[in-house]
């Protein structure tokens, strides 16, 4: 369900650049290894931050991006970066507020954004021709429980190379894995909550039975003491037998 939503209507109709058979084989091999590493982490039930960090790192390397960020929407609609990885220290903060603005819209509209070059940025922010700047954006939503709750974005900074439709396809591939990990984490949280609730119920039930048995024991002792006061000792002895 996640795959269909991510890989459907949001892909732009742009013809990707052709690659040589050797380069395509190398890309397929790299993507296959990334898929194996991430799915292995999911199967091993690694914690979600670990998996998201792995997804971000593989996205950065596979798309040859300058920076990748995983955003998550917290309570109150606050958007926070969960993990950021950059090719160079210089790229960690460049254009980060612009990247966050695009990611917020990707989550709000549950839609992928392919901003290939500066002329595509006008909808989001003013592109300034000075200093270090982001030159190409990709941002896709991440889903949990059929709702966009996060975003995965990559950027190029002052680069003549632009992202292509093939790059978006690869990012969607990693986004699907991240969404799968998020869904799995949610289900595990629900399962753990149910297990905790059941254990709490069982402890309460045991406590009730224990108290009931204690009350029954005290009542029985009280009845015997009352009999001793009313009946002859011989009859009480026979009663106890």
Tokens of 40: 């292995």
C-alpha 1/C-alpha 184 separation (Å) is 14
Q: Are residues 225 and 120 in the same domain?
A: no
Helix (H) or strand (E) holding 43: helix 21-43
* Mean pLDDT calculated for residue range 21-45: 79
Tell me what pLDDT residue 50 has. 92
Domain C-terminal end among 192, 210, 228: 192
Select from 177, 192, 207 the last residue of a domain.
192
Whether 184 and 148 map to the same domain: the answer is yes
The sign of the torsion formed by the CA atoms of 19, 55, 139, 135 equals: negative
Residues 152 and 208 in one domain: no
**Choice among 31-40, 119-128, 150-159 with the minimum mean pLDDT:** 119-128
Q: Which residue has the higher pLDDT, 5 or 19?
A: 19
Residue-averaged pLDDT of the chain: 78
**Same domain? 232 vs 126:** no
pTM: 0.68
Residue 99 sits at φ, ψ, to 5 deg, of -60, -40
- The one-character DSSP state at 9 is T
**Same domain, yes or no, for 17 and 132?**
yes
Domain membership of residue 80 as a residue range: 2-192
For 88, phi then psi, to 5°, come to: -135, 155
Give the number of other CB atoms < 10 A from CB of residue 29: 10
Number of domains in the chain: 2
pLDDT band, residue 12 (cuts 50/70/90): very low
Are residues 38 and 11 part of one domain?
yes
**For residue 127, pLDDT beyond 60:** yes
Q: What is the pLDDT of residue 25?
A: 65
- What pLDDT was estimated at residue 33? 86
What number of other Cβ atoms are within 10 A of residue 79's Cβ? 16
């Amino acid at each position: 369900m996640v795959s269909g939503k991510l890989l459907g209507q949001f892909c732009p109709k742009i013809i990707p650049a052709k690659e040589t058979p050797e380069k395509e084989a190398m890309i397929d091999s790299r993507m296959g290894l990334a898929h194996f590493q991430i799915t292995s982490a999911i199967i091993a039930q690694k914690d979600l931050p670990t998996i998201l960090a792995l997804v971000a790192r593989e996205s950065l390397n596979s798309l040859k991006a300058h920076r990748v960020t995983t955003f998550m929407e917290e309570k109150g609609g606050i958007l926070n970066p969960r993990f950021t990885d950059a090719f160079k220290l210089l790229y960690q903060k460049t254009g980060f507020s612009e990247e966050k603005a695009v990611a917020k819209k990707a989550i709000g509209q549950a839609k992928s954004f392919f901003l290939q070059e500066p002329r595509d940025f006008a909808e989001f922010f003013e592109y300034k021709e000075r200093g270090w700047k982001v030159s190409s954006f990709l941002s896709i939503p991440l889903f949990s429980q059929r709702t966009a709750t996060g975003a995965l974005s990559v950027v190029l900074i002052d680069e003549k190379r632009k992202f292509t439709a093939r790059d978006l396809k690869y990012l969607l591939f990693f986004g699907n894995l991240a969404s799968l990990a998020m869904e799995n984490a949610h289900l595990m949280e629900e399962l753990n909550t149910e297990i905790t609730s059941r254990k709490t119920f069982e402890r309460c039930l045991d406590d009730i039975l224990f108290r009931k048995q204690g009350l029954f024991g005290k009542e029985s002792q009280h009845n015997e003491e009352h009999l001793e006061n009313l009946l002859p000792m011989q009859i009480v002895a026979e009663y106890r037998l």
